[in-house]
Structure 1
Amino acid sequence: MGISTRNHGDGVAEIVMDVPPVNALPVQGWFDLADAVRLAGRDPRTRAVVLRAEGRGFNAGVDIKEMQAASGHGALVGANRGCYEAFAAVYACEVPVIAAVHGFCLGGGVGLAGNADIVVAAEDAYFGLPEVDRGALGAATHLARLVPQHLMRAMVYTCRNVTAAELHAFGSVLQVVPPAELRRAALEVAARIAAKDPYVIRRAKESLNGIDPVDVNRSYRFEQGFTFELNLMGAGDRHRESFVSGEG
């Protein structure tokens, strides 16, 4: 369990999140994920990365229970820095990253999927940012890469979710497949990329990042500043405690 990597003979690296019960990553988990993605991308044998998860869903964001159990602000700062590192690692990975999403993709999960190059989703997948209900802000930067602007704003304000089918209609999800076929479908996409000239693919990734209209790292860091403000004003802790107690 935790974060693991399997290297396939065709140049595809498969990185798996397996943190029961809901893949809400603890602070160290985010840093471990960032390290795994960076290591895979820097390996000259890697031509594409598949990022997926075991269990009930793709990713439920940060481990709020860990945060509330810790004294001081260390866990909050650690989670923010860890998310920043993991999202940035996916975006800057030297080779294309295919996110294979099933079940819930919430909070930090949106940060990972939104920064991936390609998203393949299971029919049961849904995406959302419950941050407002948790007294936090963040990952709207990445949600804006998946949905149109006005829907992104509605999702942030109301905490509503969208389905994989809706994202497929927008073109931000490449394929929607039955859950049992998700891993195979994602590996097939990765294999098609891995069959290309690896030098050209790495330059293609670099060039596409270079023409992005939004600096995702700076934009997300700006959002995180408001999470700290909410925490200083007491809203963050109040909403997190409500969630932990089962009232949120």
Structure 2
Amino acid sequence: MGVSTSRGEKGVAVVTVDFPPVNALPVAGWFALADAVRAAGRDPQVRCVVLTAEGRGFNAGVDIKEIQADDGHGTLLGANSGCAEAFAAVYECEVPVVAAVQGFCLGGGIGLVGNADAIVASEDAVFGLPELDRGALGAATHLARLVPQHLMRALYYTARTASAAELHAHGSVWRVVPREELRAAALELAREIAAKDGRLLRLAKAALNGIDPVDVRRSYRFEQGFTFEAGLSGVGARVRAGFGKEGR
């Protein structure tokens, strides 16, 4: 349980998230993930990072139960900061990051894959932001990197999901494969990337980030202000109170 890093393939580091039962990360988990991705990117022997997860789904966002257990705002602030750091770590990783997504990729999961350089997904993968059903906001910045603007808005307002096949049609998912082939497909892409010159790859990553039309860190930070406003006003807690109950 937790975040681990392995280096079985030459030039490839695999960062694996494992927080049963649904990979809803606690505050400490987001910071641990950020540290692991940054450390892998700094390793001069690494030319590509694969971000993957154990279990039924890739990521279910923040641990809402951890937030509900806090009478104050400390955990909400911690989750905000942890998510921001993890998302930034993926985007700012010195080498390309390939996300291998199975099952559900929700909330904070969208922040991770939206900032990745490439996505390989299993056939059963679904992507979405259920934030409005969870008393929160955020990660529209990253969903907008996966689907066109109007689809992003419709998905955001309805809290509905898009399938891996739909994202593949929009060009944001590189390949869609059976679940049992996911890891191999992600490693195949990572291996192809890692075969390039390491110094040139790092320059390429910096160059591509430099021409990005959206400052993802600043944009997400703007969204977070509204998330905290929802928390301070009480509407966030009121909506979260219904989380998991019939009809939600």
Secondary structure of the residue that 2:242 maps to in structure 1? helix
Q: CA deviation at 1:244?
A: 5.1
1:181 and 2:181 matched:
yes
Distance in 1 separating the partners of 2:102 and 2:9: 25
Q: CA deviation at 1:239?
A: 1.1
Secondary structure of the residue that 1:200 maps to in structure 2? helix
Native 8 Å contact 1:122 1:178 kept in 2: yes
Distance in 2 separating the partners of 1:92 and 1:228: 25
Query: Superposition RMSD on alpha carbons, in Å?
Result: 0.9
Match of 1:41 in 2: 41
Distance in 2 separating the partners of 1:146 and 1:174: 11
Native 8 Å contact 1:64 1:244 kept in 2: no
The runs of 4+ residues in structure 1 deviating greater than 4 Å are: 244-247
Distance in 2 separating the partners of 1:101 and 1:244: 24
Match of 1:17 in 2: 17
Secondary structure of the residue that 1:242 maps to in structure 2? coil
Match of 1:143 in 2: 143
Q: Classify 1:12/1:33 alpha carbon distance in 2 versus 1 (closer, same or farther; 3 Å).
A: same
Note the 1:117-156 alignment, pairs <5 A: 117-156=117-156
Instruction: Choose 131-140 or 175-184, whichever is displaced more.
Output: 131-140
Q: CA deviation at 1:139?
A: 0.3
Note the 1:99-248 alignment, pairs <5 A: 99-243=99-243, 248=248
Native 8 Å contact 1:65 1:244 kept in 2: no
Native 8 Å contact 1:101 1:119 kept in 2: yes
Match of 1:65 in 2: 65
Distance in 2 separating the partners of 1:205 and 1:156: 29
Instruction: Choose 84-93 or 70-79, whichever is displaced more.
Output: 70-79
Distance in 2 separating the partners of 1:30 and 1:8: 24
Q: Classify 1:140/1:157 alpha carbon distance in 2 versus 1 (closer, same or farther; 3 Å).
A: same
Identity of aligned residues (%): 71
Relative to the length of structure 1, the TM-score reads: 0.98
Note the 1:50-61 alignment, pairs <5 A: 50-61=50-61
Q: Classify 1:75/1:244 alpha carbon distance in 2 versus 1 (closer, same or farther; 3 Å).
A: farther
Q: CA deviation at 1:225?
A: 0.4
Native 8 Å contact 1:18 1:54 kept in 2: yes
Q: CA deviation at 1:247?
A: 5.6
Equivalenced residue count is 248
Match of 1:85 in 2: 85
Relative to the length of structure 2, the TM-score reads: 0.98
Q: CA deviation at 1:71?
A: 2.4
Native 8 Å contact 1:49 1:97 kept in 2: yes
Instruction: Choose 70-79 or 110-119, whichever is displaced more.
Output: 70-79
Q: Classify 1:246/1:32 alpha carbon distance in 2 versus 1 (closer, same or farther; 3 Å).
A: farther
Gaps of 5+ in 2: none
Secondary structure of the residue that 1:8 maps to in structure 2? strand
Native 8 Å contact 1:57 1:105 kept in 2: yes
Native 8 Å contact 1:95 1:205 kept in 2: yes
Distance in 2 separating the partners of 1:78 and 1:205: 29
Secondary structure of the residue that 2:241 maps to in structure 1? helix
